[in-house]
């Protein structure tokens, strides 16, 4: 059994508070961030949600201070992202 640590290589935020998440092994999932939005996280403004969405710490993250500081970001567990259903078909 191979131990795989999921590594996010690209993210694409969408207008509906979802993010397409691309992994280094080719898997693509979709993360629904609406649950963290409803909890009052700063990302309620869709422009901030989309503009700060990035890859940091090898996972989906939001760059809070805009300085690419890995300790000042909101990042999501890559294992949880990897366990989401795969996206198939037209992803663009």
CATH of 8-82, one of 3.40.1710, 1.10.150, 3.40.50, 3.30.2020: 3.30.2020
pLDDT at 77: 96
pTM for the full model?
Answer: 0.87
Rounded CA gap, 12 and 59, in Å?
Answer: 12
> Could you report the per-residue pLDDT of 18-59, keeping only the tens digit for each?
999 999 999 999 999 988 776 666 677 889 899 999 999 999
Rounded CA gap, 32 and 20, in Å?
Answer: 9
pLDDT at 92: 53
Task: Name residues whose C-beta falls within 8 Å of residue 85's C-beta, 6 or more positions apart in sequence.
Answer: 29, 30
The domain segmentation of the chain, as residue ranges, is: 8-82
pLDDT at 45: 85
Kindly report the average pLDDT of the chain as a whole number: 89
């Amino acid at each position: 059994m191979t131990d795989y640590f999921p590594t996010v290589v690209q993210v694409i935020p969408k207008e509906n508070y979802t993010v397409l998440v691309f992994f280094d092994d080719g898997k693509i999932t979709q993360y629904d961030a609406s649950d963290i939005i409803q909890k009052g996280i700063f990302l309620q403004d869709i422009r901030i949600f989309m503009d700060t969405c990035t890859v940091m710490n090898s996972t989906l993250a939001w760059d809070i201070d805009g300085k690419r500081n890995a300790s000042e970001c909101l990042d999501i567990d890559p294992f949880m992202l990897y366990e989401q259903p795969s996206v198939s078909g037209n992803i663009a």
